[in-house]
Amino acid sequence: MTHLRSLYPGDAILIGGDFNASNVIWGYPRNTSRGAQLEREAQAANLTLVNDLEIPTRTALHSRQKGTTLDLTWTSHNLCSSWSCENDPWGSDHYPIWVSLKHGLKKRKRKVRCTNWDLFRQHLADPSSNSSEISALVEAMQQAMILATQEIDLPEKLLTPDKHMLNLWETRDQLHAQYLANGRRYKDRLKVRQKTAQIRRHAKMVARDRWQTHCASFSNKTGLHTLWNTFKALQGKTKTI
């Protein structure tokens, strides 16, 4: 940290990661030498710990284990506007962390509708939805669609999300909630892992299909900028912000 500060003495800095360092400041019962050294480094580099120390960043895998705060986020003073942790580790044993920075820019967003078809079918299966009248059936379907559909705000330039993927994640969220509510039983954790594996397989298929669609769009009218970006992607180079 002090080395990074010496390289960029006047710049805002954000450092985050799994430091694997115990210190009473971030919720451990005692300090280790590594934890004490990390505390001194942060103080010398004038960095602030922005974690919510009531929220663990690593999940407990069973009921006899407690969550811990291995993942720490350090920033320059007054740089971070918010810090939050997902409730679902997304297949890992560490929770995803979201950090918002004060930069004065606002991203333009668009609304996308996502329907949970499992929930839609559940509403249609409700006895109150059963009727022989066509008008009543149409009304029941419309009401089920409203109850099963939610609007999501997405950045304007973000690709349209795969709706089946969103529904898979919705189901996985429900399984993960059951896993937590039932005392972190192994059989419930296995269901979460199986759903996570299904999501990964679908993600690979979506990525492959989108790449094939992108390549099929090439023609003699394709711009040099698009071709150059595709060439860099093939080399593993990502677009810088």
Q: 52-93, pLDDT tens digit by residue?
A: 999 999 988 777 778 899 999 999 988 999 999 988 888 788
Among 79, 101, 123, residue at a domain's last position: 101
Count how many Cα atoms sit within 13 Å of the Cα of residue 28 in the half-sphere of its side chain.
17
Q: Which residues pair with 152 in a beta bridge?
A: 112
Q: Residue 4 falls within a domain, yes or no?
A: no
Residue 131: inside a domain, yes or no? yes
| Residues 142 and 177 grouped into a single domain | no
DSSP character string of 142-182: HHHHHHHEEEEEEETTSPPPPHHHHHHHHHHHHHHHHHHHT
Is residue 236's pLDDT more than 80?
A: no
Cα separation, 184 vs 233, whole angstroms: 41
Domain span holding position 149: 107-158
- Is residue 202 located within the same domain as residue 124? no
| Residue 214 placed within a domain | yes
Residues 77 and 22 occupy one common structural domain: yes
pLDDT higher than 60, residue 241: no
* pTM summary value: 0.60
- Residue 155 has which token pair? 């950045």
- Looking at the structure, tell me whether residues 154 and 166 fall in a common domain: no
CA distances from 234 to 52, 157, 208, 230 (A): 40, 22, 13, 6
Judge if 191 and 132 occupy the same domain.
no
Q: Count up the domains in the chain and report the number.
A: 3
- Whether pLDDT at 208 is above 60: yes
d(CA 84, CA 238): 27
Q: 103 pLDDT exceeds 80?
A: no
Clarify whether residues 93 and 119 are in a common domain.
no
- 120 domain-assigned: yes
Strand 109-115 relative to strand 80-85, pairing: unpaired
